[in-house]
Copies of this chain bind each other. A is one copy, B any other.
Amino acid sequence: MATSLRNHVKGKVKEIVPGPAVCEVEIETSAGTLSSVITARSLQELGLKVGDEVRAVVKSTEVGIEKP
């Protein structure tokens, strides 16, 4: 399934902060730690656990830019 979402960053699940409706998942990537908030159901359905190989996915419109 090809997708219009342009940002896919490989990494490993580093830590999971659980919650009843949503949870935070930290992903260790070659560009540092990324933080994702997904539903608790998706966490369960994906069977995510620390050490899993995953990809962080982000739509381009959600990415801002900072300049020193």
Residue of A31, A32, A58, A59 with most chain B CB atoms under a 10 A cut-off: A59
Residue from B2, B19, B53, B65 within 8 A of A4 (CB atoms): B65
Chain A interface bracket (under 10, 10 to 19, 20 to 34, 35 or more):
35 or more
**Measured between alpha carbons, how far is A37 from B9 in the docked complex, in Å?**
17
Are A64's CB and B5's CB within 8 A?
Answer: yes
A36 touches B17 (CB 8 A): no
A4 → B minimal CB distance (Å): 4
Asked whether A1 lies within 8 Å of B66 as measured between CB atoms, the reply is: yes
Do A37 and B8 touch (CB < 8 A)?
Answer: no
For the complex, give the distance between the alpha carbons of A66 and B6 in Å: 11
CA distance A2 to B61 in the complex (A): 18
